[in-house]
Structure 1
Amino acid sequence: MTDPTTAAKRADREPASHTGLSPASRVLLTLATATITIAGLYLARGVIGPLAVAALVVMVAHPVRRPLERRGVPSWLATAAVIVVAYLILVIMGLLLVIAVAQFVDLLPQYADRFTALEEQLVPIISQIGLDAESARTMLGSISPAKLLGLAGAVSSAVLGASTAFFFVLAYIVFMAADAGTFGALYRRFADTKAGVIDTLTRFSQSVRKYLLVNTVFGAVVAVLDGIVLVVLGLPAPMLWAILAFVTNYIPNIGFVIALIPPALLALLTGGWADALAVVIAYCVINMVMQTFIQPKFVSDAVRLSLTLTFFSVVFWSIVLGPIGAVLAIPATLLVRALLLEGDPGAFWARWLTGDQAEPLEPA
């Protein structure tokens, strides 16, 4: 009869491939699981999007609770303060978007005739690079004021149509803010058994808050500088383009391009090529100085994502979650990395590839 201890030792010495899945099978299983998860997120993006927005807003507003509770404020009142701050964030961002869309709709029809004249100038130039005149007119017609006005109307309709989703965001904020009040007790209850998980999620929330704070500050600075340049150039509705620069600053890499194209096109219509070139140069210089040389020094400790992964994150999450995915790209990627890699010291090489070159923490 075999001794159970001897059998256990023999089992421990057997290769993992004899007792479980082979490495190739594990890789395939992981890919299949990831594919199913991504497909589920895509199909449920109408629910996941509002939930993610609410979680992000509550995460930003949650630090308001701590100083209140330290002063002996009742928990329900601290929760109410978090909800008020979260709602203020949504109201401010919503007002900015409403103002921008309203100004955009009011501005476009005023320049329809100038765009037609510009189109007549550009058709011969585009025709010289190989396109026939009809194709050139079709291409320019895709960015005509009428099409852009239709796009603005579609955006307005989408905002109104999103009222149901916005209601869910408001409700989620109330529930999440209330549940967040129990996090202190959660930490005390599981500090010994789940300290690693709790610390990972704590670092994630701190990183996201720091990232959003830095983005907000630098977005405001960039918006002010862009607005000053546009005022000096005499471009119409400089506040509109400043708001656009501020909002798109939350979209890494490609946000700058989105903010540049409309004012550059308007400068071309109102002042000619010289003004358009001045807008492009000014935006590029401001973006290069602020977002390439200064801002990364402040967010590197919070984000630690490679440039390639940052750009890919915007594209990937935009496909999965829709337009809101572009704004949620960095927090969502940080969450995935925190859940999959940061709790495993053996996955340091994978974290390093993502841009996080900080040494792994010692096991608790």
Structure 2
Amino acid sequence: MDDTRVTDAAARPAGIAHGTRVLITVAAAVVVLVGVWLARDILAPAAVAAVVVAIAHPVRFPLERRGWPAWLATTVVVVVAYAILGVLAVLLVVASVQFVQLLPDYVDELEAAAQSVAEALASLGLSEEASAAAGSVFDPDALVNLATSVADAVLGFATAFFFVLAYVIFMAADAARFSRPSGLFGSAEADAIGTRYFRGVRRYYVVNATFGLVVAVLDGVVLWAIGVPIPLVWAILAFVTNFIPNIGFVLGLIPPAVLALVVGGWPLALLVIAAYSIINVVLQVLVQPKFVSDAVGLSLSITFFSVVFWTLVIGPIGAILCIPLTLLVRALLLEPDERARTLRRLSGDPAVIDS
């Protein structure tokens, strides 16, 4: 009997315990993410180019149906992608230049606002050090340093922009294979996952761009009407931060509210906060999430975590690319694996939740 047990045990294939597999998977993920972090200066522009090409790619289909050659349709895709990048670049440069030029004109007001905030906090019982630290937010030197950092960031963006332009050409040419009958991946299941992923990315950015444009126009008009300086800059900021899930509204609100406090005191600052809250809460909190949820199918918890996670991994651009990157991880690692249905359900995948 002992010999039989030994033989049966030897005949069974050696397996890895579940806990060990989890540890190996986590260790491999950490190694990959560290590699991504080290190569973020190269991978971040590539991710931007991939998203832009995914958005512009459907332009080729009606052209090919009309008999246009593939190379000419690809050229049109590249032109559309360049147009998208060009508009974004112009918006960022205009906003940055106006912001940098504004600060020297408000040095005295910034110093008065810093003193006012420090005194108000001290009257509430905060220590002198805490009050001074809070008031330092308005310190002119700190804000001038911020302006310098913004200018440096724009210069860095311009450098990365050339990489993005180059990536777009090659990615648009490779994406032409989607129009072939065999698809890109060569299997029906993989092609279905890829098609679903790219469709979700396109719908996500179309929805966000539409709502972002509406929010930006309304915010800019309100700021102009109540006398907040450079409303165009804050409108552009509202448009850009609309692509950052959950916390974008707060990031877009703080700068104009601070400037309103500097130039008009607490009444103007509170008016800006109230106006932003009404406009952005109605559109971004009550209406937009429904359309975004239908487009991507991610849970709110995963969405919020992805903002922090991808910002840490690839830098500030990760906050804007967090949804496509999270969807990519799910498409590559979870959707092809039937054993990952629980993780897909937790992520908010509608294909699993509705089944």
TM value normalised by structure 2: 0.92
Q: Which amino acid aligns with 2:193?
A: T
**SS of aligned partner of 1:235:** coil
Which stretches of structure 1, 4 residues or longer, exceed 6 Å deviation after superposition?
Answer: 10-13
Q: Which residue of 2 is the match for residue 322 of structure 1?
A: 315
Counterpart CA distance in 2 for 1:110 and 1:205 is: 46
Amino acid at match of 1:79: T
Match of 1:204 among 182, 197, 201: 197
1:291 to 280, 284, 288: 284
Give the conservation status (yes or no) of the 8 Å contact 2:216–2:236. Answer: yes
Matches within 5 A, 1:49-68: 49-68=44-63
Which residue does the alignment assign to 2:256? 263
What amino acid maps onto 1:323 in structure 2? P
Percentage of pairs with the same residue = 54
Structure 2 residue 312 is matched with structure 1 residue 333: no
Query: Of 101, 109, 116, which aligns to 1:114?
Result: 109
1:237 Cα offset (Å)? 1.4
| Equivalent of 1:354 in 328, 337, 347 | 347
Inter-partner Cα distance in structure 1 for 2:106 and 2:192: 55
Structure 2 partner of 1:96: 91
Looking at structure 2, the residues matched to 189 and 252 of structure 1 have their Cα atoms a distance apart, in angstroms, of 30
Tell which deviates more after alignment, 213-222 or 180-189.
180-189
Distance 2:50 2:349 in 1: 24
Name the residue aligned to 2:3: none
Structure 1 runs not aligned, ≥5 long: 1-9
The 1:196–1:12 alpha-carbon spacing in structure 2 relative to 1, beyond 3 Å, is farther
Q: Does 1:78 align with 2:73?
A: yes
Please say if 1:149 is aligned against 2:144: yes
Q: Higher mean Cα deviation, 328-337 or 127-136? A: 127-136
- Could you tell me how far 1:342 is from its partner in structure 2? 1.4
**Bigger shift: residues 76-85 or 295-304:** 295-304
Q: 1:246 maps to what in 2?
A: 239
Partner secondary structure for residue 20 of structure 1: coil
**Structure 1 residue 231 corresponds to structure 2 residue 224:** yes
Asked if the contact 2:95/2:233 (under 8 Å) is kept, the reply is yes
Aligned to 1:5: none
TM-score for both structures, normalised by structure 1:
0.90
> How many residue pairs were aligned?
348
Unaligned runs of 5+ in 2: 1-7
Counterpart code for 2:295: A
For 1:42 and 1:340, locate their aligned partners in 2 and report how far apart those are by CA, in whole Å.
20
- Which residue matches 1:24? 19
- Alpha-carbon distance between aligned partners in 1 of 2:350 and 2:76, rounded to the nearest angstrom: 37
Q: What SS does the aligned partner of 2:67 have?
A: coil
Shift of 1:135: 4.6
1:236 aligned counterpart, secondary structure: coil
